[in-house]
Structure 1
């Protein structure tokens, strides 16, 4: 287990012990107000430091831990806000939950000068798209996440792949299968599997829902039953039947897929995964699960997310964290000021250098601090991937959409040409209230 995952596990236990009772939003005896900031377990050390440095003479920011699971994070925050909890001042939100919370009027929009600060031209397009709803800026982008193709350079060379040019999923699967390698993905029945499906579909020129109707909620047009959906299913089906499939394919996640990059036997892997991968392997040099030495780390390559269809630009996944201000906060102006501070360029630089949580601002990728911490070409790849990647459906009903997709596309070993049509029918029924999850 990596140090990051160990911290996450500890954080999950701590979060489980939190009471859902309302916390006081004000200091005792009429003292300085306390703003409660609910965070997920990623980057706790730096987030605690940000809470301290962004506290002022007017207010103190106090960290409250959410559970490690994104689903559990959503559930706890939704319960608080549905109860009009005034102690929920700041929230770290997975971007897919922003539309739901904004649609429920649980987030206070940023306006005027503050709006211009949190969403200016420096914010990468992929991140900017996650914080708007109904023509309002309802959250502040803090850090961005995206996936790239990680691989062993020696494996790609043996396969004759030119990694300076775009590669397709078909090429990657064949290269691994023919050269004693594997392909690492996230295909367990959980959100990351939907991330993969969505990116495959968008990479083929389609969408799960029509982007022009997605914000209309239950009336959104379902478009997963398409040639793009079939192309996405074909990739999953090919990997499922390939010798490049990893042993835990149907239960694979971000952590398990790491283990085949530097195996005791075999040529390694091609793997799609998030930005934390680089620091993970850098910290494992000479240790189990990592490269044997620094020379081994040099064999770790990275490239643009694979194309679903040759010649069609891929759409890397978009993730990260946005900061929302609770609609029932007793100190909304202070909370908005605090949100601006914890999402500043300096804050994003600290999160990237210390925690591997990458910026949502273009200028931070160009900073001297990041260039000392990461290879320049990797920073450029991440920045471009966030700027040109594809978000998941921007719907107030995203949790139902995700669950409906999972229920018809899992297990990945059962995916075939008919899967898009079956999932479209079920998703339509779920959105219209004619089927239950």
Structure 2
């Protein structure tokens, strides 16, 4: 469900070339006899807001012979990917439409697990350009962009005001200074400063990569070479390590994923919290949040100014093993189309892929963070388009965790990670 969405640079072309397969047009054709119509199953994330259920119910009312059934994958992104991979490896037709983290497109397309979408199925010009690119592999659109966005900084407006802090921090130093001032107030006593996602899973890769980028570094350069042992990249890792050591980030956050951090912020235990836009609507609920009406949203801070986030997103693709691919394609076109995206956008705060929503006055009134989010998306970087991305992410998690828990100094962790990533790029 959530968008979990490692930034970095360009594709590791050698890896892509070695894993790519398909017809001369760059992708597999629909398996014979599978381009039919009928009921379809959509494998998606957890629908916390129940909005997708309502959208599916509306489709089913109009398509009684082509009904859609939702199957929710595990909330943990790594577990969700593993379940999809296992399904594809046995060529199961259990899923017709699969919801993919934007970074999985290359792997699933190269392994012929999903099919390229026909030209004209969706209006490519209607999407946020960066979101559209995450659905492409070798120049063809394999997955229609549905959700997009980047990490943003949630902050307690009320606590900052009482501490005399007039605006949210643009730098890490300003963030630490603001927390110190808040903690000197009666209302800020005992409130932790900052947290993101630091459990040993994909979210750690994202948060590490954002720290590297926000210090002026990059995880991979434009040629696909790892660059994690540069002074800038090590400064990003050092910010995270120092933050755990000096209490800017509480020790308990070493296990945080999106939901643990969201709940901590929502319950009033954090001054600042890095998360995706989905958390906005939940934190704003008057009946379920202690910070409703008391928080704002800003771009994530960086070393010398506003930081650079990771471009996240979830896209929809047609399984190559579906027996009802015509219906699957039609449902994807329906769900990412303007009418349904507007309806979905009004009901929840997931950032959607339709560009027009970010300038829609009604949407901005409902979700004031949208201009901030679009600003952050303009500075965000995509994760690397690599077939072996899961191994890249696992290497990042291993060595960054070692640094955060004090098992390795920053320089050693950066050197070891550089070697691990270089081996994957060979």
Shorter-normalised TM-score: what interval?
A: 0.7 to 0.9
1:303 maps to which residue?
A: 298
Structure 1 gaps of 5+ residues are 6-25, 214-220, 292-296, 433-437
| Deviation at residue 282 of structure 1 after TM alignment | 1.7
* Local SS of the residue matching 1:418: helix
Structure-2 separation of matches of 1:262 and 1:57: 41
* Local SS of the residue matching 1:151: strand
Q: Judging changes above 3 Å, is the alpha-carbon distance between structure 1 residues 234 and 177 closer, same or farther for their aligned structure 2 residues?
A: farther
Once the two structures are overlaid, the 10-residue window that deviates more, 40-49 or 98-107, is 40-49
1:290 maps to which residue?
A: 290
| Deviation at residue 298 of structure 1 after TM alignment | 3.7
2:204 maps to which residue?
A: 193
Alignment deviations for residues 160-212 of structure 1 (CA, whole Å, 9 cap, x no partner): 65537x61123212321453151122112111111111112222333222344
Matched, 1:349 2:364: no
1:153 maps to which residue?
A: 157
| Deviation at residue 157 of structure 1 after TM alignment | 4.3
8 Å Cα contact 2:244/2:251 also seen in 1: no
Structure-2 separation of matches of 1:427 and 1:211: 15
* Local SS of the residue matching 1:358: coil
Structure 2 matches for 1:302-321, cutoff 5 A?
302-307=297-302, 309-311=303-305, 314-321=307-314
Structure 2 gaps of 5+ residues are 3-32, 184-190
Structure-2 separation of matches of 1:427 and 1:373: 43
8 Å Cα contact 2:37/2:326 also seen in 1: no
| Deviation at residue 223 of structure 1 after TM alignment | 1.8
Q: Judging changes above 3 Å, is the alpha-carbon distance between structure 1 residues 177 and 255 closer, same or farther for their aligned structure 2 residues?
A: farther
Once the two structures are overlaid, the 10-residue window that deviates more, 391-400 or 173-182, is 173-182
8 Å Cα contact 1:118/1:343 also seen in 2: no
Structure-2 separation of matches of 1:404 and 1:32: 42
Structure-1 separation of matches of 2:47 and 2:311: 17
8 Å Cα contact 2:216/2:233 also seen in 1: no
Matched, 1:420 2:425: no
8 Å Cα contact 1:168/1:306 also seen in 2: yes
1:12 maps to which residue?
A: none
Matched, 1:210 2:221: yes
Structure 1 runs, 4 residues or longer, greater than 6 Å off: none
8 Å Cα contact 1:35/1:89 also seen in 2: yes
| Deviation at residue 320 of structure 1 after TM alignment | 2.7
Structure 2 matches for 1:396-407, cutoff 5 A?
396-407=387-398
1:279 maps to which residue?
A: 281
1:23 maps to which residue?
A: none
Once the two structures are overlaid, the 10-residue window that deviates more, 51-60 or 347-356, is 51-60
TM-score by length of 1: 0.79
2:135 maps to which residue?
A: 131
| Deviation at residue 92 of structure 1 after TM alignment | 0.9
1:88 maps to which residue?
A: 95
TM-score by length of 2: 0.81
Matched, 1:394 2:396: no
8 Å Cα contact 1:89/1:331 also seen in 2: yes
Structure-2 separation of matches of 1:108 and 1:383: 30
Alignment deviations for residues 128-166 of structure 1 (CA, whole Å, 9 cap, x no partner): 2211111111100112232211112244346665537x6
Alignment deviations for residues 362-382 of structure 1 (CA, whole Å, 9 cap, x no partner): 21233355245323xx12112
Once the two structures are overlaid, the 10-residue window that deviates more, 180-189 or 170-179, is 170-179
Structure-2 separation of matches of 1:176 and 1:211: 37
2:50 maps to which residue?
A: 45
Q: 1 or 2 for the larger relative contact order (CA 8 Å, sep ≥6)? A: 2
Structure 2 matches for 1:5-404, cutoff 5 A?
33-43=38-48, 45-55=50-60, 56=63, 59-114=66-121, 117-120=122-125, 122-157=126-161, 161-163=165-167, 167-180=170-183, 181=191, 182-213=193-224, 221-261=225-265, 268-283=270-285, 285=286, 290-291=290-291, 297-307=292-302, 309-311=303-305, 314-367=307-360, 369-375=362-368, 378-404=369-395
Q: Judging changes above 3 Å, is the alpha-carbon distance between structure 1 residues 418 and 40 closer, same or farther for their aligned structure 2 residues?
A: same
